Amino acid sequence: MTVDRHLLEGKKHIHFIGIGGAGMFPLVQILHAEGYTITGSDNNESDTLARERAMGIPVVLGQRPENIKGADLIVHTAAIMEDNPELIAARQSGVPVIERSVLLGYLSTLYPHAICVAGTHGKTTTTAMITQMLLDAGLDPSAVIGGLLPSIGGNGRRGESDLLVVEACEYVDTFLKLSPDVALLLNIDADHMEYFKTMDNLIASFHRFAAMATTQVIANGDDPRVMRAVEGITAPVVTFGFGEGNDYHPAGITIGEGVRAEFDLIRRGENLGRLALHVPGRHNILNAIAAVAAALEAGADLAHIKRSLHDFGGAGRRFEVLAQLGGITVADDYAHHPAELKVTLESAKGMRFKRVWAVFQPFTFSRTAMLLDDFAAVLPIADKVVLSAIMGSREKNTYGIHTSDLAAKIPGAVWFETFEEIARYVCDRVEPGDLVITLGCGDIYKAAKLIIHRLEEMPAAR
């Protein structure tokens, strides 16, 4: 896709409609650091809005036509509906209006070495790992991450080098707006099928993304769909995976309590030594190998990479432990696809908790309807299943799907309309030794905060 390389010429004031979005925040951080005047609006309070206000950015709650005053470029998220009054006013104003992915695509053209991380699962964790490795190695990258990385105080940063690490999302082919020098393909699974329709179409989009890489493609050699996607690619292809036939693969994996995993890293037959990883789950071993491969190929030294991986505590909302009160652990995770829920819940079940509570918020009506039986198959991995109302986001419920449809397929599952009801139900029944993990890519983390608040008020937690 053609990128307007003059997009920001003459622009001083950029207004963001939906400024609290996970994809908006890193762009806000980078452009704020570049000296642009940033304003924005959103409909819901969030931790992200609090961080943006702390940066001195004026953020308005509620979306109204007058919010765009003074802007010479207006950016909106894909989640903003066409009948949004602020978006309508923006399009009538004569000021250029673009969707967030267009701005991200433009930014990716500014860096001679853009590492773009794609895949149905694991993008945020892997992007965060690579960013941390390059930072620790002194390579000063810029970054656009879908989750919070504590060391950079947000989801994005502006570095001084020619390196950019960016999360590349396949939703409605937005990753085709990027200009990748290195394309990293983690996996390909059935998601966003309301858009792609067929798996062949999805693989074809990943192929187009990989074909845009100018320097290198790093691909999961264990994933048949990924390997189909990289067929015929002209850029050199480096593979990673558990299989010994990959350019990068682990050997001698051990799983422990304190150090979640240790393994030798083999690169094209050479043992690079022992690596330790503290984020749980076998899937994160694969994410780590992909990140190490990308960081090494980008010029980071192995000693810094090993130390960085050892110290990596995860990105925000990726099995993030929020509190431990009265013997009860409360965590939060971004998992919103059945495959992600499966690995997250299996990891949780392997961590010796008495019971695992899955508090899940379905996201979008289309995904819930299309993958209803898949969700019903994996959620019972948990001992207790609590469901919230579906977060429709960018969609209207043309599918006639409701949370009650999912709850009916899961023995013992309960569902509630509000987070307050969820918190009350969980706190009345949770016991010491239990893990309560909120799951979903919407705002279900707010339920975790309410649960923590209620637990703090309980006598046993004092």
Query: For residue range 194-218, what is the model confidence (pLDDT) as tens digits?
Result: 999 999 999 999 999 999 999 999 9
The pLDDT value given to residue 5: 77
Mean pLDDT of 87-110: 96
> Does position 1 have pLDDT exceeding 70, yes or no?
no
> Does position 377 have pLDDT exceeding 80, yes or no?
yes
pLDDT in tens, 441-455: 999 999 999 999 999
Torsion-angle region of 268 (φ positive above 0: left; ψ -120 to 50: alpha; else: beta): left
Report the DSSP beta bridge partners of residue 271: 266
Contact 259, 266 (CB under 8 A): no
Of 379, 380, 357, give the one whose Cα is nearest residue 427: 357
The pLDDT value given to residue 153: 87
List, by residue number, the catalytic residues. Answer: 123-124, 167
pLDDT band at 2 (very low <50, low <70, confident <90, very high): low
**Average pLDDT taken over every residue of the chain:** 94
Mean pLDDT of 231-244: 97
pLDDT in tens, 294-345: 999 999 999 999 999 999 988 877 888 899 999 999 999 999 999 999 999 9
Report the DSSP beta bridge partners of residue 97: 74
Share of the chain above pLDDT 90, in %: 86
Joined together, the tokens standing for residue 412 give 């013992």
pLDDT band at 461 (very low <50, low <70, confident <90, very high): very low
Share of the chain above pLDDT 70, in %: 98
The pLDDT value given to residue 462: 38
The pLDDT value given to residue 351: 87
d(CA 168, CA 170): 7
Contact 275, 263 (CB under 8 A): yes
* Three-state secondary structure call for residue 117: strand
Residues 6+ apart with CB under 8 A from 268: 247
DSSP string, 287-356: HHHHHHHHHHHTT--HHHHHHHHHH----TTSSEEEEEETTEEEEEE---SHHHHHHHHHHHHTTT-S-E
- Residues 132, 138, 143, CA angle at the centre, nearest 5°? 45
pLDDT band at 94 (very low <50, low <70, confident <90, very high): very high
d(CA 382, CA 367): 21
Of 149, 213, 150, 154, give the one whose Cα is nearest residue 181: 213
Joined together, the tokens standing for residue 253 give 């994996």
Mean pLDDT of 390-414: 95
